[in-house]
Structure 1
Amino acid sequence: MPEFRDLRIRVAVPDDDEGLALLDRLAWSHLHAVVPRPQPPYPPFFSDRHAPEDCLVAEVGDRLAGYIRLGFPTPVEANRHVLQIQGLVVAEEARGRGAGRALVRAAVDEARRRGARRLTLRVLAHNTPARGLYAAVGFGVEGVLPEEFRLDGQYVDDVLMGRFL
């Protein structure tokens, strides 16, 4: 599938809440989610933990194609030089067309802009598409938590990845 020519990455705004929440629910899968499938009433996408400015959005025309969310890995001040990718979702119809790669590259740029020294993430071991994407943009495996999660009756490793900025 060809890459999008009209893909645009921007910082989320409060009005994106409903669209991003819907995108999140539609993309839910145990390939990347360790929490149960969301059920109504659905919580808002943005919260005290994740504000709109912590989220970069991919758009194609006027449609949301995906998002990536940044946050701090811990609440510890001594860890403030590290940012963490705390969510990456690409709409089904946008997969394989460059939206995920553009979002990760934009997150790297945003982390640098914020003065971070490192960018990290956690990804489930069986999510080979995401692991390949992260490796292609410079993330390396820094650790593995064996059988950290039990999903659909199977134990799944949690893979820690990171890169210096």
Structure 2
Amino acid sequence: MQLKQKEEMGEVLNEVDFQQLKIENAQFLERIDERNQDLLQLKLTTGDTLQVLNCYKKRLQNTMVESTHLAREISVRNDILQRIELETEQVEQERAKAESINKKLRKQLSDYRVPDVLEYVQEKMEQEELEKNVRTWERKVEIVEVNVRYIWPINTK
């Protein structure tokens, strides 16, 4: 009954048509196999590419960590350098002050004149003579003051 309906509709397959369909089916299966081989090759290539990509990502991550570490290191070293420069300026100023004081003292030392021994002895003798005279005069003043206290009131009576 189905064959009759198909014959009426013209859908009955002839032997030639069936052979033609087998050939086309074989060709399509061949193309599918080729495409599957291409797909497998692409999957292998994709896997290799992903491995390389992951390797590069890991290297990039390590490089970024190292870059951050080096940036901090550079910052610390710049701070140290600035402190050293400030200390160098301070030391240079202190050195300049010490040098000027040293020059001043050297000038004083070069201008200093030590008297001759004979001159020194003579000056020392004069100083002792003057001190002796001062003591003598102070003694005389004390005597006069004592006399004035005791004698003066008597004479005024």
Same topology, TM > 0.5: no
More helix by share: 2
Identify the structure with bigger relative contact order (alpha carbons < 8 Å, sequence gap 6+).
1
Under TM normalisation by the shorter chain, which class is it?
under 0.3
**TM-score calculated relative to the size of structure 2:** 0.14
**TM-score calculated relative to the size of structure 1:** 0.14
